[in-house]
Amino acid sequence: MQSISNKRRLSALKARASVFAALGDETRLSVLVKLSNGQPQSIARLTAGTDLSRQAVTKHLRVLANVGVVRSLRVGRESLFKLEPQPIEDLRDYLDQVSRQWDDALARLKAHVEG
Amino acid sequence: MSDRIEKTIELKAPVSRIWRALTDHQEFGAWFRVRMEGPFVPGQVARGRITYPGYEHIQWEAVVQKMEPERLFSFTWHPYAIDPKQDYSSEPSTLVEFSLRKIPAGTLLRVVESGFDKLPANRRHEAFRMNDEGWSIQVKNIAEHIEQTPA
């Protein structure tokens, strides 16, 4: 049991690190912003109105898809891309958890120096 | 959207007392719940063992960055690195900074943990400028951002 939960925790840690890294790029964030209405969109649509090439957008979509933030769907002959909010929500949960740990640690520090 | 955690706390004790509680390895260990092997030295790895019940098998490790007396103490570490069999050295590490400031009531302590995505701070700030509430961003926030700035 222990090793399974450790493994799961470890893979979660790796996944988080890569989601953070994938999101840490302005172009990719702007792609996510376009996808955030929940509607699947084509590469052409995502490229329109930007000074990015189709290839560049495709490359960024691939990075986002690799960490599970974006999913591609096949509709007829076209590939559409859709936002998957779960990994981003997981990141938020993770940071909330780290944040609570700091609250606890600082409360102990306070008791330590004021006590 | 920022990837940093920031905490500020007022402590009713002089700066010198807080500095000792942070940087004396035994005092640090008492409240941080780590049994440290030795003192903190800038540029060196500090090791210890977690004393938090249920986690005693876990080694605690950090690399001390700066020790500017009564002002700044910082180290890098791997948050949540709690599998003893795993080598975390290739995982991203975060920077933890404790800054102290004298206030009438005692000391204002600020703790910042940053670097969850390993990007230079300025770029991160730029990329995440759409909100500064930490990673509490959700799809909803992004959607609101779009409404304000139509493509």
d(Cα B22, Cα B31) in Å, to the nearest integer? 9
Residue B113, phi then psi, degrees to nearest 5:
-115, 125
pLDDT band at B128 (very low <50, low <70, confident <90, very high): very low
At B151 the three-state DSSP class reads: coil
pLDDT band at B122 (very low <50, low <70, confident <90, very high): very low
A chain contacts of residue B143, beta-carbon cutoff 8 Å: 36-37
Full 3-state SS string of B91-108: CCCEEEEEEEEEECCEEE
- Tokens coding B122: 């300025």
The predicted model gives B34-57 an average pLDDT of: 91
Which DSSP letter does residue B50 get?
A: E
For B116, name the nearest residue in chain A, comparing CA atoms only: A20
Nearest to B59 by CA among B37, B28, B30, B26: B37
d(Cα B80, Cα A16) in Å, to the nearest integer? 11
The structure's pTM equals 0.68
Kindly give the residue spans of alpha helices, DSSP state H, lying in chain A. Answer: 2-23, 26-35, 43-47, 54-66, 86-114
- Tokens coding B36: 């440290």
pLDDT band at B1 (very low <50, low <70, confident <90, very high): very low
Nearest to A102 among B5, B128, B151 (CB): B5
Would you call A114 and B136 a contact, using CB atoms and an 8 Å cutoff?
no
Nearest to B113 among A37, A89, A98 (CB): A98
B chain contacts of residue A110, beta-carbon cutoff 8 Å: 9, 11
> Nearest C-alpha of chain B: how many angstroms from A100?
10
pLDDT at B114 > cutoff 70: yes
Place of tokens 């719940």: B33
Higher-confidence position of A7 and B64: B64
Would you call B3 and A20 a contact, using CB atoms and an 8 Å cutoff?
yes
At B88 the three-state DSSP class reads: coil
Q: Determine which helix (DSSP H) or strand (DSSP E) holds B144, and give its type and residue range.
A: helix B139-148
Residue A54, phi then psi, degrees to nearest 5:
-55, -40
Cβ atoms of A36 and B1 within 8 Å: the answer is no
pLDDT at A49 > cutoff 50: yes
